[in-house]
Amino acid sequence: ARKIIIDTDPGQDDAVAILLALASPDEIKVLGITAVAGNVPLELTAKNARIVCELAGHTQTPVYAGCDRPLERPLITAEHVHGKTGLDGPVLPDPQMPLSEGHAVDFIIDTLRAHEPGSVTLCPLGPLTNIATAFRKAPDIVDRVQEIVLMGGAYFEVGNITPTAEFNIYVDPEAADIVFKSGRPIVVMSLDVTHKALVTKTRNDAFRRIGNKAGVAVAEMTDFFERFDKNKYGSEGAPLHDPCVTAYLIKPELFTGRLVNVEVETQSELTLGMTVADWWGVTDRKPNALFIGEIDAGGFFDLLTDRLARL
């Protein structure tokens, strides 16, 4: 199984991404979960990550709290999408499992140093503050990273928090810039692909019909998520962003993309946080990211439903 660290700001779609990973031990070994401020403040994301572990029955998975604000900017949150708790929808019990001791950034550093170089993959599902802070604090770990598979950015779909920026990148563009310049292989689950991973009524019903705690909770989470996104994009259902990351680790063949150069705008007020992808190769900037734009959505939802049933 592939060893990963999930860096996250749960978030209903983060929760589904984590559940999918924990339900797939043959393909994925979750070394730990690191919480970051994003959709809601750190205190809540660190709590929600543990709620999700308990929902999956994985109370042994360590959960660390990380950075409570972006590198250089005030935190922007997204309660308008995720609700006040970040995990609105289902009613889930407060977590019993404690937070692991120590800072998420140190956990990331120590874990990369403790494992064979090239054997740990980072899976960021929120703003890139924890990852960038770890890279800055311990530059020796960068080359030890196997791959970074992240949710963030957009090219043809441009933006969801501003006209030109996707939320995770926009919240901490300086951190994103550090990650995109790291030189490690990056897979980008952009809005271009996640806006094709739509929870239709039929797919939501399939989650609920699983009948276990996780299935019902996911149906209730996506019900909540739906309220914000559906009419907004005129699509059939709400996009399920973050699970694209963990699904890619299990079944990469569900996705297609293009290896391109991606740079992050950190200066312009108008286009701050834009992921400028050289899609047509009009510069000689070196490709640094596999930018994913297409998904076999049917296969993705079948995988999700099948795995959630195992919890």
Give the binding site for ligand BDR (CB under 6 A): 11, 13-14, 39, 78, 81, 125-126, 151, 160, 166-168, 241-242
Residue 24 near which of ligand BDR, Ca ion, none (CB within 5-8 Å, type-dependent): none
Q: Which is nearer to Ca ion, 126 or 153 (CB)?
A: 126
- Judge whether 107 and 75 are in contact, CB under 8 Å: no
Burial 286-310 (b: 16+ CB within 10 A, else e): eebbbbbbebbbeebbebbbebbbe
Active site (annotated) includes residue 241: yes
> Rounded to the nearest whole angstrom, what is the least distance from the CB of residue 48 to ligand BDR in the complex?
11
Number of H helices, E strands in the chain: 12, 12
Q: Give the SS3 label for residue 2.
A: strand
> Rounded to the nearest whole angstrom, what is the least distance from the CB of residue 95 to ligand BDR in the complex?
19
| Contact footprint for Ca ion (CB under 5 A) | 9, 11, 14, 125-126, 242
- Return contacts of 280-288, CB within 8 angstroms, 24+ apart: 285/261, 286/261, 287/259, 287/260, 287/261, 288/180, 288/181, 288/183, 288/186, 288/261, 288/262
Q: Give the SS3 label for residue 259.
A: strand
Q: Which is nearer to ligand BDR, 166 or 223 (CB)?
A: 166
> Rounded to the nearest whole angstrom, what is the least distance from the CB of residue 240 to Ca ion in the complex?
11
Catalytic one of 82, 103, 195, 241: 241
> Rounded to the nearest whole angstrom, what is the least distance from the CB of residue 110 to Ca ion in the complex?
24
Q: Which is nearer to ligand BDR, 15 or 219 (CB)?
A: 15
Q: Which is nearer to Ca ion, 10 or 278 (CB)?
A: 10
Residue 166 near which of Ca ion, ligand BDR, none (CB within 5-8 Å, type-dependent): ligand BDR
Residue 135 near which of Ca ion, ligand BDR, none (CB within 5-8 Å, type-dependent): none
Residues 6 or more apart whose CB falls under 8 angstroms from that of 122 comprise: 4, 5, 7, 108, 131, 145, 147, 148, 149, 150
The conformation of residue 143, written as its DSSP 8-state character, comes to G
Residue 226 near which of Ca ion, ligand BDR, none (CB within 5-8 Å, type-dependent): none
**Active-site amino acid positions:** 241
